[in-house]
Amino acid sequence: MNTPKIAITAFSSISPLGNNNDEVWKKYLDKKHCFTKHFLDGKDTSVAMLDIESKQIVDEIRESDSKYKFLDNSVLFALAASRKAVQDAGWNSDDVFGINIGSSRGATDLFEKHYKEYLETGKAQTLASPTTTLGNISSWVAHDLQSEGPEISHSITCSTALHALLNGIAWLKSGMADKFLAGGSEAPLTDFTIGQMRALKIYSRIDQDIDLWPNLAFDFEKTQNTMILGEGAAVCCLEAGEKENAIAYVIGVGYATEILEHNISISAEADCFQKSMKMALKNIGIESVDAIVMHAPGTIKGDLTELRAIEKVFGLKLPLLTTNKWKIGHTFGASGMLSLELALLMIQNDTFIETPFSEPKKLDKSIKRVLVNAVGFGGNAVSILIEKA
């Protein structure tokens, strides 16, 4: 059976880098991270928050409709990113398209506030349930965009956004949809979330007032976990077939799950990543992959095991390796799509974005094919290979 090519016709995000693709790219070209200190879990904590202009955009959306005043930031972030992506793709109210925007933790801030109030008063607010349900995100985006297609929300931890992309591709290739909006959104900068990461002993303890790079997400010789959380959302518009306005095409997808030894385990050589990358690269010469945007969350084991998996798959001739966690932190369920955004921007601008911890690479060829990795608790890995249109 002939299956259609999958075109990416637009992408958009709202993150510590902003909400404008050109501005996001400019900020990737400098070596400044987006971390700031915020008082969480009883102490000053390094986090990556939305920039001022992005916060204003979110506030404007919140005030634009009385119903939106009660929504969690994870939903509002998704609305901001989705509006711009659909506009850039040229979709209108007559288009029928599917929506799959997931989140690792969902309405984190709102849930914590409602639960705290319940513990204090013994009563729950009327809108506590509908505004903290995980399916909240895609349904509100569909309402906002007046979409009549299928709407799906899910949580598959940190690979959520790329699983949304997988779902969109499946719908398109099945012929059940012609267009699909896929992505992830996360607003995890809350006391309880940070407390959980500290309990796992994976959150950064580096003092950013002293150390220039509090998140050494690409330093494979670090001696302590340095993960820092960030907030944001990212989506892309997918269409079946070749399109004149295509930015890139998805030419390979892969996925795999490991057998767990414990709740957050991953094998020494990340077997799930090896399998997902090999699946994405099926019938494609590995030498044609120009770069990989790694998941690399900033944990000692997570970063190193992914590197070992890449070495197993690619051998001695590794593609260029990078990540965006040193720049915007780990955005949980949105991270895979924000990594895809970096891959798309590198292809569009034919420029490789290095991390501050990498040895400078001499680029002797164009950036045409980029592999993007994501994995979450439970060893559920996804790899997406994209190619310049």
What is the CATH classification number for the domain harbouring 69?
Answer: 3.40.47.10
d(CA 276, CA 254) in angstroms, rounded, equals 4
Relative to beta strand 291-293, strand 369-376 is parallel
Range picked from 69-83, 125-139, 261-275, 356-370 for highest mean pLDDT = 69-83
CA 187 to chain centre: 12
Give yes or no: residues 291 and 150 share one domain: no
Total number of domains constituting the chain? 2
Give yes or no: residues 342 and 200 share one domain: no
* 1 in a structural domain: no
Give yes or no: residues 193 and 255 share one domain: no
Give yes or no: residues 315 and 227 share one domain: no
* 302 in a structural domain: yes
Give yes or no: residues 268 and 209 share one domain: no
* 315 in a structural domain: yes
Q: Which of 146, 234, 233, 177 is nearest to 6 (CA)?
A: 177
Domain edge (last residue) among 218, 240, 262: 240
Give yes or no: residues 260 and 213 share one domain: no
Q: Domain span at residue 107? A: 6-240
Give yes or no: residues 221 and 290 share one domain: no
Share of the chain above pLDDT 90, in %: 82
Residue 263 has pLDDT above 70, yes or no: no
Q: Which of 224, 189, 196, 254 is nearest to 44 (CA)?
A: 189
Relative to beta strand 369-376, strand 380-388 is antiparallel
Give yes or no: residues 321 and 341 share one domain: yes
The model's pTM is 0.95
Domain edge (last residue) among 176, 208, 240: 240
Task: Output the pLDDT for position 145.
Answer: 96
* 335 in a structural domain: yes
* 112 in a structural domain: yes
What SS3 class is residue 288? helix
Give yes or no: residues 153 and 24 share one domain: yes
Give yes or no: residues 280 and 201 share one domain: no
C-beta separation of 51 from 273 below 8 A: no
Residue 94 has pLDDT above 90, yes or no: no
Task: Output the pLDDT for position 1.
Answer: 45
* 353 in a structural domain: yes
* 245 in a structural domain: no
Q: Which of 8, 180, 6, 7 is nearest to 99 (CA)?
A: 180
pLDDT category of residue 349 using cuts at 50, 70 and 90: very high
Give yes or no: residues 138 and 279 share one domain: no
Q: Which two tokens stand for residue 153?
A: 């929300």
Lowest mean pLDDT among 77-81, 277-281, 307-311, 359-363: 359-363
Run of H or E including 195: helix 191-199
* 246 in a structural domain: no
Mean pLDDT of 307-324: 94
Domain edge (last residue) among 177, 207, 240: 240
Residue 258 has pLDDT above 90, yes or no: no
d(CA 292, CA 160) in angstroms, rounded, equals 19
d(CA 180, CA 140) in angstroms, rounded, equals 16
Give yes or no: residues 177 and 60 share one domain: yes
Mean pLDDT of 156-184: 96
